Structure 1
């Protein structure tokens, strides 16, 4: 009888352990613990969602800020590497404000002095970056909790209602971000939105790519190509001047593959104003989603990232503000220029530059933005 009782007790403990393990979730291929992403932020439940394709590629996403947490892709030797920066838990994302991997909104990039006029009405937005409104303000979409719906092993849908007046923007904006992991190793991101009042919308993804899978290394050797004959210069506060300038004969010319670090510290006013590369390029692709608008390659790992978009511009940010104060996944310190961001977008400050592609969205219209990050290997 005692043996039977001991056996039953053991079975109960085993079942309990299995249930606890299931609830906690197994670690992802990138080493993230799902339990570390399950909590409440502002009264809403957060979670970790995992997408996998037939090639073994894995993308982890949280609905807190619609953030890509990790991206596991093979290098030229078949070794799987995590190629984006980020943290190991929701607590760190909350504690250390950042844009790592985020679905940015309501308006990506900067709006001059946080001021804009829509249909004759003046709006004052938060001034959270050198006097300007950056990435929708200090409580932009990257700090909100989306509603997450995993539609399949390879598709995740996130939705968010940005209420009228949130961060000063007009209109109730119903947003959707759909992540699809394709079998050709691409992260296909579609943004859509509808409003009940004329507003501005400019969403993007703010992943920090480190194609070495080693954030202790800088981006200086990465080869960058941008299909753009022009860019939008900035002043010393990172605000676009309104000029569209040719890249020809300047350190902004990436029409052929060029190492990111080859000219980044040159004595050129735009590199001084941006503290390196932190600029919007005017794409030649003109909304053609079938043509790569930018390519980033690591000669060390052979990993190649091609970017496609229907947007007119791409902001390339070379991690100039990373300064070693943040410790990310696996305890690695993120030093200056440990990554490259490739943010497809409308041009910065378009609400105040009517001659540029418009970011206005009116009732009855549908906002549609499309970005594809496709990974491959060059051996």
Structure 2
């Protein structure tokens, strides 16, 4: 079947924009672009394909600016789809998920959904243990972005978020630009401006399964995190305000080890609180996008993803709450820990912890964030 899909993709040469209404060719990952063509609140939604000279393919929908599939070669040269997701737009609409999404306005959690800006207390939607998670139940992952196909290897997604959107202040214009490089990296650039003082913290929420078989857990994958410290959480997944060392704890991935080596050690309170790993690490990279922040490798496929960023932190989430109730691409059931998320970010609840790096965006400023997922074998 994989050989059949590969030959189909190569034979068709794939149109650059799978949003083209006349496109009927399957993508290399086996997606039918017509299954992504719809209108949501009067706005058109489609599928867009990026492809580089090495044959790597990335498919993205402008619904939530989501990465739908990533095809990369394994150690034998066989192309594998290494992210979870759905093969049609209706599932993205009807099944609540963050699969592949551009998260905003604020990635991760804000305590009690409350922020204070210049003395004004603002109540945000509460959707996770009384906290506001990923912008609330109608965050940007459920918005239609305006797509602009820049070329065969790049697409820009633009969102106008009005003043009062989920109670956040300011008319915000945000862009997410995905560029597929010829060295098999997805270079994601986020920008945002506002006309009123606000907060912003964007990230990508792809669930990686580097084996290329989403029926298999990621617990045997090898994880490296370039961090000496992390931000612990309470039993509602909220950061406590502490920054603790990883040394001599299961949080230490400075020496690469299996994701699952200590994941069920619930005698360690942080793993019990997170139901596994669902924590922010304080990166050693000093905001330098050229320094390796994290790396995951599948021993089975030989595929690795390296993460580079100018953000101070990374949330590593090991799919602890995938529970077998959702079926994704190819009808595969997504069981617990069949995906790992590598969400570069400012720390959770930073608006309420002024000692941490600021997430304030002022009029006249431009928010800039960058994440590079580089694939190797």
TM-score by structure 2 length? Answer: 0.94
Please give the secondary structure, in 2, of the residue aligned with 1:113: helix
Report the counterpart of residue 215 of structure 1 in structure 2. Answer: 214
Report the counterpart of residue 302 of structure 1 in structure 2. Answer: 302
Q: Which of structure 1's runs of 4+ aligned residues deviate more than 3 A?
A: none
Residue 23 of structure 1, CA deviation: 1.3
Residue 308 of structure 1, CA deviation: 0.1
Report the counterpart of residue 364 of structure 1 in structure 2. Answer: 364
Q: Root-mean-square deviation (CA), in Å?
A: 0.8
Report the counterpart of residue 169 of structure 2 in structure 1. Answer: 170
Residue 233 of structure 1, CA deviation: 0.2
Separation in 1, partners of 2:205, 2:41: 22
> Does structure 1 conserve the Cα–Cα contact (< 8 Å) formed by 2:21 and 2:34?
no
Please give the secondary structure, in 2, of the residue aligned with 1:92: helix
Equivalence map 1:91-102=2 (5 Å): 91-102=90-101
Report the counterpart of residue 29 of structure 2 in structure 1. Answer: 30
Report the counterpart of residue 338 of structure 1 in structure 2. Answer: 338
Report the counterpart of residue 6 of structure 1 in structure 2. Answer: none
> Does structure 1 conserve the Cα–Cα contact (< 8 Å) formed by 2:159 and 2:175?
yes
Q: Which runs of 5+ in 2 are unaligned?
A: 1-19
Report the counterpart of residue 78 of structure 1 in structure 2. Answer: 77
Separation in 2, partners of 1:92, 1:302: 30
Matching of residue 288 in structure 1 with residue 288 in structure 2? yes
Which structure has the greater CA radius of gyration? 1
Please give the secondary structure, in 2, of the residue aligned with 1:23: coil
> Does structure 1 conserve the Cα–Cα contact (< 8 Å) formed by 2:104 and 2:203?
yes
Matching of residue 240 in structure 1 with residue 239 in structure 2? yes
Residue 43 of structure 1, CA deviation: 1.6
Matching of residue 199 in structure 1 with residue 198 in structure 2? yes
Report the counterpart of residue 134 of structure 1 in structure 2. Answer: 133
Report the counterpart of residue 316 of structure 1 in structure 2. Answer: 316
Please give the secondary structure, in 1, of the residue aligned with 2:252: coil
Report the counterpart of residue 13 of structure 1 in structure 2. Answer: none
Please give the secondary structure, in 1, of the residue aligned with 2:186: strand
- Give the number of aligned pairs: 357
> Does structure 1 conserve the Cα–Cα contact (< 8 Å) formed by 2:287 and 2:312?
yes
Residue 25 of structure 1, CA deviation: 2.2
Separation in 1, partners of 2:173, 2:300: 42
Residue 120 of structure 1, CA deviation: 1.1
Separation in 2, partners of 1:159, 1:58: 22
Residue 140 of structure 1, CA deviation: 0.4
Separation in 1, partners of 2:37, 2:255: 44
Residue 342 of structure 1, CA deviation: 0.0
Separation in 1, partners of 2:144, 2:242: 37
Matching of residue 227 in structure 1 with residue 220 in structure 2? no
Report the counterpart of residue 251 of structure 1 in structure 2. Answer: 250
Report the counterpart of residue 13 of structure 2 in structure 1. Answer: none
Separation in 1, partners of 2:328, 2:195: 40
Separation in 1, partners of 2:25, 2:102: 26
Report the counterpart of residue 186 of structure 2 in structure 1. Answer: 187
Residue 22 of structure 1, CA deviation: 7.2
Residue 272 of structure 1, CA deviation: 0.2
Report the counterpart of residue 329 of structure 1 in structure 2. Answer: 329
Separation in 1, partners of 2:149, 2:86: 22
Separation in 1, partners of 2:128, 2:336: 19
Residue 24 of structure 1, CA deviation: 4.2
Alpha-carbon displacement from aligned partner over 1:227-275 (angstroms, at most 9, x marks no partner): 0000000000000000000000100000011100000000210000000
